[in-house]
Amino acid sequence: MFITDIKRVIDQVSREKGIEPEILINTLKEAIISAARKTIGPRADIEVHYNDKSGEVEVFHFKEVVEEVEYSDSELTLEEGYEYDAECEIGDSLGIRIDTEEFGRIAAQSAKQVIIQKMREAERNAVYENFINKKGKIINGIVQRFDRGSIIVNLGQAEAVLRLRDQMPKENYKRGDRIRAYVLDVLEESKGEQIILSRTHPQFLVELFKTEVPEVAEGIVTLRSAARAPGIRAKIAVSSMDSDVDPVGACVGMKGNRVQNIVQELRGEKIDIIQWNPDIARFVCNALSPAEIARVIIDEDNQSMEVIVNDEYLSIAIGKGGQNVSLACEITGWHLEVTSEEEYSREVKEGYDSLMKLTGIGLSKAEVLFKGGYSSLVDISEAVVEDIVSISNFSESKAEKMIEEAKVILEKESRQESRDQEPEGDEETQEGEDS
């Protein structure tokens, strides 16, 4: 056999790579058949037998006994058949045992390449089968090497990759360090690493809470949603199935020990634990904490909300670089626009003043239109008659006239604005041309 001690090789690879011996044996058989056909001919009918106990490999070349040979790699004459079986007849198929050394160096090399390729395929399949059920879970590994910014992590039976974009900012590792990450994906077929890890995904935060908080693992406390600015700040919304269990308190832990363990794992990332609420307005208010909310204006059709906060809380509600409101948008699933009370009051006044330019619209009627969602002449000009009628006691004719008047006023204001923006020299130039 051109591979010595094949049984030892199969047992070792099976143990180290986690591949079933049967898969390796079938791979070996395919490789030998491929090598045999390269030497004997493409039509050759080859059978390979492997002895599990001894590791011995026997190869048989089957030929059909014929009167006249057309294909020498699959047929032989009756006279040639007598050399192997004195009782053979025309039409019999004779299995001739062959020595694998006859394949030659090139054929042996070909067989070796097939074995390597098949073993890699088998290894990838084994990795996929072993790790697909770990997708969406946290896994521990050891930093093995670095590849163009990515970290290759040894998981024991396989390697995984932690890409640069999935690494925490300002987080440094060296070879041999232990690392904990979230299994983002397990690829069934891949030329590179099949297991993709992440330390920045919001679900990594969720899974950490599952490991640190028994009430979460037991299903008493539910993690509703999570959002992260990795390494800086995160928000996680929680609720409780048991009225006697405070979900926020359970996640924080005694003296904050539970959440602190997670903060430490995330290298100091601040975590806001928020009480989830089925009332979206209350949930949004919780999500924007610690800012105090004065009022909210909900647009359910567009799933957006204008949030008005006291002037002193505006910067807190928005957060550094808009971080707090951005995370609140992500965790609630709503588009949020944060405005101070002073700015909102100014916008309301401008809106009322705009509406009161219409004939017959005083403060009370302007208020009705404003509360109905029409906060300016632009809104009125783009309105549908039926919609205005439905939110007020205006007749259809009155609504039609109001829409037309709004368009006329806006057109006049637009022309006036254009004239105001014209350079002063234009008039002098025109007068010079006229003279």
- Tens-place pLDDT, residues 288-330: 988 888 888 888 888 999 899 988 889 999 988 899 999 999 9
Q: What pLDDT does residue 416 have?
A: 81
3-class state of residue 47 by DSSP: strand
Which pLDDT tens digit goes with each residue over 407-419?
888 888 888 878 8
Helices (H), 18-158: 21-40, 78-82, 104-131
Task: Report the run of H or E that residue 96 belongs to, with start and end.
Answer: strand 93-98
The answer on pLDDT for 425 being more than 60 is: no
Calculate the CA 147 to chain-centre distance.
22
- Per DSSP, the three-state class of 163 is coil
Looking at the whole model, is its pTM more than 0.85?
no
**pLDDT recorded at residue 179:** 96
Handedness of CA 397, 400, 406, 412 (dihedral sign): negative
pLDDT of residue 2 exceeding 80: no
**Could you tell me how many residues make up the chain?**
435
Average pLDDT over residues 35-63: 85
Over residues 189-215, the mean pLDDT reads: 90
Core vs surface per residue 320-341: b (16+ CB within 10 A) or e: eeeebbbbbbbbbebebebbbb
Name residues whose C-beta falls within 8 Å of residue 385's C-beta, 6 or more positions apart in sequence.
Answer: 396, 399, 400, 403
Looking at mean pLDDT, say which of 129-133, 367-371, 422-426 comes out highest.
Answer: 129-133
> How far does CA 423 lie from the centroid of its chain?
54
Per-residue pLDDT at 207:
96
Phi and psi at residue 93, in whole multiples of 5°? -115, 120
Q: For the sheet containing 233-240, what is the strand order? A: 221-229, 233-240, 270-275
Give the integer Cα–Cα distance in Å for 315 and 223.
28
**CB neighbour class for 285 (10 Å; exposed up to 12, middle 13-18, buried from 19):** buried
Residue type, 302: N
pLDDT value of position 263: 95
Could you tell me which residues are beta bridge partners of residue 150? 147
Among residues 93, 92, 112, the alpha carbon closest in space to that of 103 is found at 112
**DSSP three-state, residue 368:** helix
Strands 57-66 and 75-77: parallel
pLDDT, tens only, 138-184: 999 999 999 989 999 999 878 999 999 999 998 899 999 999 999 99
Q: Which of 6, 71, 82 is nearest to 41 (CA)?
A: 71
